[in-house]
Structure 1
Amino acid sequence: MGCSLNTGPPLGKWSHGADQQRSGMRHAFDMFAGVMLAQRGHLFPWSPVCLAVGIGCYFALRVEPQLWVLITLALCGLITVLLSARVGPVFAPLLSALALAAVGFSLAGARAHLVSGPVLDFRYYGAIEGRIVAIDRSGSDAVRLTLDRVVLERMDPAVTPERVRVSLHGQQGYMEPRPGAVVILTGHLSPPGGSVEPGGFDFRRHAWFLRLGAVGYTRTPVLLLEEPGAGQWLFKARMWLSARVQAQLPGETGAFAAALMTGDRSGMGQGTLQTLRETNLAHLLAISGLHMGLLAGFVFAAVRFGLLLNGHTRHNWPVKKIAAAVALLAALGYLSLSGGSVATQRAFIMAAAALTAMMLDRRALSLRSVAMAALVVLALRPEALVSPGFQMSFAATTALVAVFEQVSLWQQGRQVPRWLNPVVGLVVSSAVAGAATAPVAMAHFNMLSQYGLIANLLSVPVMGAIVVPLAVLAALLMPFGLDWIALAIMGLGLDWILGVAEVIASWDGATRAIIAPDWQVLPLLAFGGLILCLWRGGGRAVGLVPMILAVVLWSQTDRPVLLVSDTGTLVGLMTEQGRGLSRPKGAGFVAENWLENDGFGGSQQEAAQRWPGTVEARIALSGLGDLEVVHLQGKRAVGRWSSCHKGQIIIASTPITLSGGCQIFDPTTLRSTGSLAFWASDTGIKMVTDRQISGHRLWHGMPKDDFKLASQTQ
């Protein structure tokens, strides 16, 4: 008898298999190295993308990270950047990407802590004193004041919000709100509201980064306590210029002109704004790349032409560089005077990069300048990443630069009539910008403008040829009191744009309601679009894969069968005809967002008619699977109930105590859960709370015990 120790394959076969495995790994590495090396010189535009990934991860968290986590990630990012230079050209980009993501995460967290301040945690009614630092209009078309140096009756300054925003309703008397004036009023204040539905727009986060600790309204006149003092000269200059322009051009035309020249939209009515949105012309109001480019281009051309008229300056001065420098100063002045929104900052940085490149005899516009603008904006204001303005602005700019790079390559060696270039440029730019921004607009605003391209083709040339040049001329003539001449001609151009918007908005099918997508859709679309625009070589077509996946996911989006507002004042039940609402008035902002997210649109009054119950009594019963939902609106309705039974869900707008085995959601409970969504599934009804999705963050101001309660509520 004997035994063999050879229990595995022969050594030669094992060695051969290992060699094959090593050969496969070496081949895969060579392919990866070839891909990375092929991108050398074109990777910088991916830098803001990596930074944005880290910022996005911060905002996606459900629990606020500790400060030591932010500091550690920032240090690790810096160390990784130093190490990336030693690992060679293949892996250095990967380490740099990780470093930028870590830095982006830390930047967002640091910014959130930097803007922290007291937030009101109860409903306040009484005297409100403060200094006017901003003037705009609310969604209900009321003038709205933002106040700092706030003083509230019987409140400790240590817990008083740094800023509050108050809408002015009712008769306001004769006091004209002026920048820097200290005013006093009697009004209602409340904490910034939460998401209108789980996973929806979080106004608390938005208000946190605006340093708003409370929002509210008043129905009594605002009284002047102190005249405007020193400081805030830019804000005062903006409002002075806005008032002067509107005095020369009354009505919506003057308000439009003031918005273009100063960024002040407080004079524009909601009807005009809605018409511009429905025709995809609202971007003409935002001081962005179009306006900054037209202004800088007009100033550059005018200065260059003026210098070329003189023989001495034409032959002895660097005319092009001087014109670029003057245009840069004009763009800087426009940025300062217009309020400096995210779109304006991005536009200025790109214009500054292009004009500086001219002065240095470099290429004026490229994806690198777009990336530089994105890096600066994200470094200064990381929260801009989640705003529609940032997303639409950079989506349009990135797509335009990438497409026109390909167009310029195609034109090389081809004879194209010169007169055709501006026509092709207008059509291509309008189509590309519209296609790039449409998914973002549909996701955030739930609306598709089906004739937006036509409206832009009819309006953008007028904006470039008449409106912006005359706006610059009006500013130059203003010291001489002759600005009315330029403004009168500028008004004709604005009247044309407003007329185009009004006519096209009246066409049948001008807009189409779009259902709100799941959270994965926009990141997938953005990732695919970035690959198409930034990647070099044949692999660019891979970007179509995530975009197609995003479209499929969007088409399969489902909506909750039942929605409950975070105050218990409104309930929405999905019916065969659309969502029915429990009341025809009140909670209008919540109702509007629910209907828009459903992709149905319509008014709250129409939706209330679909509610399967007695709306007049503010009490309604509706079957929801094996559950029965009862909505009690008002103290009288609550007073009629003393008991309930298992299988019932009681939603009340005022605190309620009932005997029985039902689930109760009144303002006390909803303060911990936030808004509610009920989903129908094969296994029954699933409830999701806003707190389960949004979590416990700085801007929620919620004790951790409340967060645990909200997470456990099922």
Structure 2
Amino acid sequence: MEPSGGQSSAADGERPSQDGRRIEGFLPPGRLTRFGYGLASHAAHLRDQVAHDFEERRGFLFLAVGFSCGAATYFILPREPLLSALLLATGTAVFAAFLAWRRGGGAYPLVLVACFLAGMSAGKLRVESLRAPMVEHPLSGQLTGRVVAVETRAERTPRVVLDQVSIERLPAEETPHKIRLTLRTDLPPLGARVEGSARLAPLPGPAMPGGYDPARAAFFDGIGASGFVFGALTVVEPVSGVHVFVAIAAIRRAIAQRITDAVAGPAAAIAAALLVGDRGQIADADVDALRIAGLAHILAISGLHMMLIAGTAFWLMRAVLALSEHAALVLPIRKIAAAIALAVGAFYLSISGGNVATIRAFVMIAVMLTAVFLDRPALSLRNLAIAAFVVVALQPESVLEPGFQMSFLAVAALVAAWEAWRDRPRHDLAEPARGLARLLRRPIVAIGTVGLTTLVAGLATSPFAAFHFGRLASYSLLGNLIAMPLVSLLVMPAGLISLIAMPFGLEVLPLTVMAWGIDLVLASAHFVASLPGATVLVPPFPAIALMLMSGGILWLSLWRSQLRLYGIAPLLVGTFLAWLLGAEPDVLVDEAGRAVAARDVSGHLHVVGARQGSFLHDVWREGEPEDDPAGAPGFRCDDEACVLEMPEGLTLSRVTDPVAFSEDCHRAEIIVTQLRAPADCAARFVIDRSALAAHGAHALFIAHRGPDRATPHLELRMSRPSIRRPWHGPPALR
């Protein structure tokens, strides 16, 4: 039957009906329209997945991420914000979120913004609470103070931290609350008031831009100056009264002495590090071997050790209670074991030194054990998010530290991998293993579990290891497969048993077992470290690459649906940028201008002004060939300057006498000096006393030739911003 109006024109189009006839008046959609339909369908599918994940309360995880990102944003701002402005913005966001919730929708984005602003406010409040005077210029004189911390270091001189400080000829309002001093004599007793003559100086900055910043770390420890003692510190007032930190220090020293009496050698030093956090006696060769083998994490008391100690205590207490039929049937033995494990973890925290990583680990363990009391899963991403909230609220500065980033990302990746494994489709049609196959299944599964755990944690933390430490352990999987079963099943359980046995004088046997396990761990570390290509050095790369990679890892870990696959894109982009933009500096200048490192025309790095074997020399020369290539030109020095011919036809001059400015300002492209350079110096880059005092250490990169193929393109990086933040301290001319 034809429609009224007669035959349709060809422009009207046709479509087939169910019985095969053509239906007029229809045009099939074009490619662009079909693409739009597909895009809309995919968007609807993504919305369904987001709704499904939010129904499982995954949105709470991103609130913790927003809170942490807010704290990180505060610390990387170019200048200090107003506390009142941050608190007002946070309160406004909270109020807007509350109104949106009352109206029935749209509250989550506002809650996320409120968490972000709350993180910034937490960082600001933390810094304001730590503001204290800092020494601005080097000075010498008599001082007095109370010893609140002592630090022994293998192959280095010991140090002490003093509070309640009084410094000769320095007003009280300008006196730091704490100072750190290096000694060449015996350590004074903890808690005693001492006096002596010392040389104090401002806290040193990074050895190179982007490197470890001692001044920042000291600021958040409350330390306002560092120096060394002339002679010895004299006790003017012995320890009196009851001091918690003195009692804890006495317990730590007693445990360390018991360890030394029971075992000897490198095993004793590492046992002391694992049980009481005293890493000062570990030989540098052992530290290097563990780091190259990917096992350095076992030296820092962190989540691994806290979990092993608390987990062993939980398992032992639950097993003991289960031996009683009455206790097993009547008492909540799981909750009792969790309470005991929490107490053991708190004790371990107190004797381990209570550093940032250990406090963070204890918070995570406390959250998980609290979940046991509430009959909730102990290991979940939600508990990890709660731990992140607590840690960032207490120590917001930790968000920029590698320990925080690596520990939380590793745990998040491991829990996400476990969830994916748990939710995998399973086919239980195979016959159960019997005989020898059943006997071998458990060790194979155990080895596979350790390998998979190491692989997941290693992949999650490798971007941070590359960014912060400039190296990757090639055989970390092998090292962890060998060593971690020993640490988990032998070393740490024996250490816990030895702590329990010490009050009864029965610690020798468990410490001997622990030392035997440590010897095996060290042997495996030295074996792995000796393999060719055990370390891969990674040149410094921009922070944006790390942000993309960490964002991709978080996205992969926090979503449960197929949404997680979108995290692969930023992960790959960040990896590509790290490879593309990573480059070693061609010129390095320390913050005082005394030492300079630069590459010659052959690319070899030469150092002048820092003795071989010094900290600065070793940091700058790390990864460089041990010996100069045959015939490699180095610095040519006289009484006025040191000159080096660099790649791309550049010349660097380190001026030590003002007379050299008249000539070198015209012939050298780069001038480095501790002096004040003339205002009319024609060099392309002048790094003089004023620039070093304002911006700290400098680094120059020869990126590529300019468009005219004649002028090299140089990029300058500095360790201090133009506008200093409170932890940078005031600029000073040294």
Task: Tell me the TM-score range normalised by the shorter chain.
Answer: 0.7 to 0.9
> For structure 1, which segment, 375-384 or 140-149, has the greater mean C-alpha deviation from structure 2 after superposition?
140-149
Supply the distance in 2 between the matched residues of 1:608 and 1:341 (Cα, whole angstroms): 47
2:203 alignment partner, SS class: coil
Evaluate the alpha carbon distance shift between residue 435 and residue 33 of structure 1 in structure 2; reply closer, same or farther with a 3 A threshold: closer
Contact 2:133 2:224 in 1 (8 A): yes
2:636 alignment partner, SS class: coil
**CA displacement at 1:109 relative to structure 2:** 1.2
Residue 723 of structure 2 corresponds to 695
Supply the distance in 2 between the matched residues of 1:144 and 1:65 (Cα, whole angstroms): 36
Contact 1:194 1:566 in 2 (8 A): yes
Contact 2:293 2:534 in 1 (8 A): yes
1:476 alignment partner, SS class: helix
Evaluate the alpha carbon distance shift between residue 609 and residue 580 of structure 1 in structure 2; reply closer, same or farther with a 3 A threshold: farther
Using structure 1 for the length normalisation, give the TM-score. 0.86
Residue 352 of structure 1 corresponds to 366
**CA displacement at 1:609 relative to structure 2:** 9.6
Contact 1:194 1:203 in 2 (8 A): yes
**CA displacement at 1:389 relative to structure 2:** 0.8
Residue among 73, 82, 102 paired with 2:89 = 73
Evaluate the alpha carbon distance shift between residue 500 and residue 135 of structure 1 in structure 2; reply closer, same or farther with a 3 A threshold: farther
Contact 2:342 2:366 in 1 (8 A): yes
1:294-314: CA deviations, max 9, x gaps?
222221222122222223323
Residue 103 of structure 1 corresponds to 118
Supply the distance in 2 between the matched residues of 1:672 and 1:607 (Cα, whole angstroms): 36
1:520 alignment partner, SS class: helix
Residue 572 of structure 1 corresponds to 597
1:441 alignment partner, SS class: helix
Residue 16 of structure 2 corresponds to none
Larger radius of gyration: 2
Residue 235 of structure 1 corresponds to 249
Residue among 295, 317, 322 paired with 1:303 = 317
2:542 alignment partner, SS class: coil
CA RMSD of aligned residues (A): 3.3
Residue 10 of structure 1 corresponds to none
Supply the distance in 2 between the matched residues of 1:127 and 1:642 (Cα, whole angstroms): 44
Identity rate, percent = 31
Residue 61 of structure 1 corresponds to 77
Residue among 505, 517, 533 paired with 1:493 = 517
Supply the distance in 2 between the matched residues of 1:158 and 1:39 (Cα, whole angstroms): 55
Supply the distance in 2 between the matched residues of 1:462 and 1:546 (Cα, whole angstroms): 37
Is the aligned partner of 1:163 residue 2:178?
yes
Residue 670 of structure 1 corresponds to 692
2:225 alignment partner, SS class: strand
Residue among 192, 201, 204 paired with 1:181 = 192
Supply the distance in 2 between the matched residues of 1:609 and 1:202 (Cα, whole angstroms): 36
**CA displacement at 1:75 relative to structure 2:** 1.9
Supply the distance in 2 between the matched residues of 1:224 and 1:283 (Cα, whole angstroms): 38
Is the aligned partner of 1:202 residue 2:213?
yes
Supply the distance in 2 between the matched residues of 1:506 and 1:638 (Cα, whole angstroms): 49
1:85 alignment partner, SS class: helix
> For structure 1, which segment, 49-58 or 685-694, has the greater mean C-alpha deviation from structure 2 after superposition?
685-694
Supply the distance in 2 between the matched residues of 1:406 and 1:694 (Cα, whole angstroms): 47
Supply the distance in 2 between the matched residues of 1:607 and 1:78 (Cα, whole angstroms): 63
Residue 674 of structure 2 corresponds to 653
**CA displacement at 1:585 relative to structure 2:** 0.8
Is the aligned partner of 1:563 residue 2:563?
no
Q: Give the counterpart letter for 2:218 in structure 1.
A: A
Contact 2:651 2:667 in 1 (8 A): yes
Supply the distance in 2 between the matched residues of 1:574 and 1:659 (Cα, whole angstroms): 27
**CA displacement at 1:532 relative to structure 2:** 0.7
**CA displacement at 1:422 relative to structure 2:** 2.6
Contact 1:378 1:385 in 2 (8 A): yes
Supply the distance in 2 between the matched residues of 1:220 and 1:513 (Cα, whole angstroms): 42
Match runs of 1:312-711 below 5 Å? 312-410=326-424, 414=428, 419=442, 420-556=444-580, 557-575=582-600, 576-583=602-609, 585=611, 588-596=614-622, 600-601=623-624, 612-614=634-636, 619-623=641-645, 628-633=651-656, 637=657, 645-646=665-666, 648=668, 649-653=670-674, 661=682, 665-680=687-702, 681=704, 682=706, 684-686=712-714, 688=716, 690=718, 693=721, 695-702=723-730
Contact 1:629 1:650 in 2 (8 A): yes
2:260 alignment partner, SS class: helix
2:181 alignment partner, SS class: strand
**CA displacement at 1:182 relative to structure 2:** 2.9
> For structure 1, which segment, 656-665 or 265-274, has the greater mean C-alpha deviation from structure 2 after superposition?
656-665
User: What is the number of residues matched between the two proteins?
Assistant: 673
Supply the distance in 1 between the matched residues of 2:662 and 2:195 (Cα, whole angstroms): 44
Supply the distance in 1 between the matched residues of 2:278 and 2:698 (Cα, whole angstroms): 37
Supply the distance in 1 between the matched residues of 2:147 and 2:592 (Cα, whole angstroms): 30
Contact 1:161 1:214 in 2 (8 A): yes
Residue 121 of structure 1 corresponds to 136
Contact 1:619 1:630 in 2 (8 A): yes
Using structure 2 for the length normalisation, give the TM-score. 0.84
Residue 710 of structure 1 corresponds to none
Evaluate the alpha carbon distance shift between residue 593 and residue 606 of structure 1 in structure 2; reply closer, same or farther with a 3 A threshold: same
Contact 1:620 1:632 in 2 (8 A): yes
Supply the distance in 1 between the matched residues of 2:220 and 2:629 (Cα, whole angstroms): 34
Supply the distance in 1 between the matched residues of 2:476 and 2:225 (Cα, whole angstroms): 37
In structure 2, the gaps of 5 or more residues are 1-35
Contact 2:405 2:464 in 1 (8 A): yes
Contact 2:335 2:373 in 1 (8 A): yes
Evaluate the alpha carbon distance shift between residue 166 and residue 274 of structure 1 in structure 2; reply closer, same or farther with a 3 A threshold: farther
Contact 2:276 2:351 in 1 (8 A): yes
Q: Give the counterpart letter for 1:478 in structure 2.
A: M
Residue among 287, 291, 296 paired with 1:277 = 291
> For structure 1, which segment, 80-89 or 93-102, has the greater mean C-alpha deviation from structure 2 after superposition?
80-89
**CA displacement at 1:525 relative to structure 2:** 0.8
Supply the distance in 2 between the matched residues of 1:443 and 1:361 (Cα, whole angstroms): 40
> For structure 1, which segment, 684-693 or 308-317, has the greater mean C-alpha deviation from structure 2 after superposition?
684-693
> For structure 1, which segment, 107-116 or 494-503, has the greater mean C-alpha deviation from structure 2 after superposition?
494-503
Evaluate the alpha carbon distance shift between residue 466 and residue 640 of structure 1 in structure 2; reply closer, same or farther with a 3 A threshold: same
**CA displacement at 1:178 relative to structure 2:** 3.4
